[in-house]
A = this chain, B = another copy of it.
Amino acid sequence: MGEAASGERRQRTDKQRNRTHILEVAEEFFTERGITGSMDAIAKRAGVGPGTLYRHFPSREALLAALLQARDEELEARRVAIQREVTDSRAALTQWLQALDQWVTAFDGLPEPLRVALTEGTSPLALTCQGFVTTTEDFLRAAQRDGHANPQVRGRDLFLSTLATAWARGAALADESSPDALVSLMRTGWEAPARRTTSAGDEGPPAP
């Protein structure tokens, strides 16, 4: 990001100022009203025309991506911290999933665009998503190697599950249920471990 080469004219200062201001306002707005609030309303609150908003961020996803970037870095830092400080691979995976969960819950409604980003690949959010899937895979692989995680499970599935859990949470909050119910369901499943019953050998076939 230095001053570009050769005779390029310097970027106008008002542009940068606007961009920053829009980001501040959008952060506030999305926090208050969730990510589906009106784009024009954001522009208005920022005191700019819709055209300006769209020139800076050509879509809601682009705005979101820019907004998330700061948090991306936090999450990345968290990853490094976990990898350095937590030696037990099971605990590491757990903590990473927890961090992911927090990231995904930054704004109300965030799981939806993240999910489409994960498939469509065209969203500005896609790259970030993909990166975190990979990280999840790393933690998962370590846990699997140590026999702490089911070897069938794959990183992408875990990431999707985290997304899905966060998505569902919107509903869970109204309930008296602890918000952790779904997280722990994802961790241990609903099925009780097959106890060695008196009648031996009914080892269930969970995965045909």
**Chain B residue, CB-CB nearest to A168:** B164
Q: How many A residues have CB within 8 A of the partner chain?
A: 54
Nearest Cβ on chain B to A6's Cβ, whole angstroms: 43
For A170, what are the chain B residues with a Cβ–Cβ distance below 8 Å? 115, 119
For A188, what are the chain B residues with a Cβ–Cβ distance below 8 Å? 150, 189, 191, 206
The answer to whether the Cβ of A160 comes within 8 Å of any Cβ in the partner chain is yes
Q: Is the interface of A mostly helix, strand, loop or mixed?
A: helix
- Contact in complex: A91, B168 (CB < 8 Å): no
- Contact in complex: B192, A189 (CB < 8 Å): no
The answer to whether the Cβ of A13 comes within 8 Å of any Cβ in the partner chain is no
- Contact in complex: A161, B182 (CB < 8 Å): yes
Copies of this chain present: 2
Interface string of A162-206 (1 = CB under 8 A from B): 011101101111110100111011111111110101000000101
The answer to whether the Cβ of A81 comes within 8 Å of any Cβ in the partner chain is no
- Contact in complex: B91, A171 (CB < 8 Å): no
Contact of A192 among B94, B147, B192 (CB under 8 A): B147
Say which one of A19-27, A58-66, A100-108, A151-159 lies at the interface with B: A151-159
The answer to whether the Cβ of A118 comes within 8 Å of any Cβ in the partner chain is yes
Closest 5 CB pairs of A and B: A189-B189, A164-B164, A188-B189, A164-B168, A119-B174
